Homo-oligomer: A and B are copies of this chain.
Amino acid sequence: MARIVMKFGGTSVGDIDRIKNVARRVKAEVEAGNEVAVVVSAMSGETNKLVDFCRQIAPLHDAREYDAVVSTGEQVTIGLLALALQEAGVNARSWMGWQLPIRTDGAHSKARITTIETDTIIERMSQGQVAVVAGFQGLGPDNRVTTLGRGGSDTSAVALAAALKADICDIYTDVDGVYTTDPRIVSKARKLDKITYEEMLESASLGAKVLQVRSVEMAMKHNVRVQVRSSFSDAPGTLICDEDEIVEKELVSGIAYSRDEAKITLVKVADRPGVAASIFGPLTDANVNVDMIVQNVSHGGGATDLTFTVTKTDLERAVQVLTDAKETLGYQELVADSNVVKVSVIGVGMRSHAGVAQTMFQALSAKGINIQVISTSEIKVSVLIAEEYTELAIRALHTAYGMDAA
């Protein structure tokens, strides 16, 4: 017997038949003798519809009213799933965020969970009742409904699993696990049996949209074992867990990429102390996040080139800010380029193994791909390359690290 949290996303509860299908999966876990809590998202499309209603009325809306509106999608699905479970002969009841309650801070529309009161549902789960809990929502300090930001139901599920000290948190979705890379690009991509929290965090923040980043951070912090698996098959998925639980660590676990990058180069910036601060200060003030930063070797005459990346959506704003400050910053020219992609090799194994970056550089060089910017962390090497080489680079790296499926 185990205590488990099952989470189903919008596609998995997209219509009445699928909700009945979810009920069957939950019933199977109950019949296997497990204590079960279920977290559900809104039916696919519903949240978008509600967000759109709010935007049509007020582009800059009161986040507290927005939360009241958009949280209704999950309220519908918990009620319907509880009914479907009862109809299947399973004891179940729905819980809205304010009923448990799931307490959050007061940052409406992007709230963070602070505590979840679980005494009541733990007692009921021990008596065989399934707790069907609304994802994405909570109760703020103002006694009003809060929401956690898009994809927040993943975080609800992991937070509930942490509060319940659950043995596992199964995230059911429309993919069957985490892959070594995007299977649409590399047909020989392999599903991973296990991946560490750190690797998943790097993958998630790089755009592998399987899980909300915050849910992985929370899983890591509370050591919640999370399994990503398909709601439409019984195949095991990918377990996201602590490094200690992975006996055979692979050197590299995956190749991630992000197209949401743009590069800015400031040509001939004065090469003196404090210049970086004077450039990035105004960007921070304008809410522009800067990612990779490279400062080239000095030109003659005390000048240097500075290159960095921002997200594509921030590019226009960043260029505006830097152009406005051209006099103060004293650079010669600004070059912006949004035809770039960031490709990253991720693996906890590289902490203890040299040569991972070298393999990457050689593989790209062999295909004639020029590296524009490089950045590294303990478990990741990222390069910025021209966007047209995206698929070629990913395939070359997948092969170079011996990750192709047999």
Contact = CB atoms under 8 A, between A and B. Distances in A.
A64 B99 CA distance: 13
A19 B20 CA distance: 35
Contact of A58 (B78, B86, B98): B86
Contacts of A64: 93
Q: Which of A50, A64, A71, A79 has the most CB of B within 10 A?
A: A79
**Number of this chain's copies in the complex:** 2
B69 A57 contact: no
A143 B56 CA distance: 34
Interface of A: 16, 19-20, 50, 53-54, 56-58, 61-62, 64-69, 71-72, 75-76, 78-80, 82-84, 86-87, 93-94, 96, 98-99, 143-145
A94 B68 contact: yes
A57 B20 contact: yes
A76 B57 contact: no
A62 B76 contact: no
Contacts of A62: 82-83, 86
A92 B80 CA distance: 32
B79 A58 contact: no
A57 B19 contact: yes
A177 to B, nearest CB: 30
Nearest to A62: B86
Given A75-B72, A76-B50, A96-B68, A56 B144 contact: no
Contacts of A86: 58, 61-62, 65
Given A57-B80, A68-B82, 9 more contacts: A57-B83, A57-B87, A58-B83, A62-B86, A65-B83, A66-B79, A68-B94, A72-B76, A99-B144
13 contacts: A16-B53, A19-B57, A53-B76, A57-B83, A58-B87, A65-B83, A65-B86, A68-B82, A69-B75, A69-B80, A72-B75, A75-B75, A99-B144
| Top-5 shortest CB links A-B | A69-B79, A68-B79, A72-B72, A58-B87, A65-B79
A65 B79 CA distance: 5
Contacts of A84: 57-58
Nearest to A99: B143
Contacts of A72: 72, 75-76
A68 B58 contact: no
A79 to B, nearest CB: 4
B79 A94 contact: no
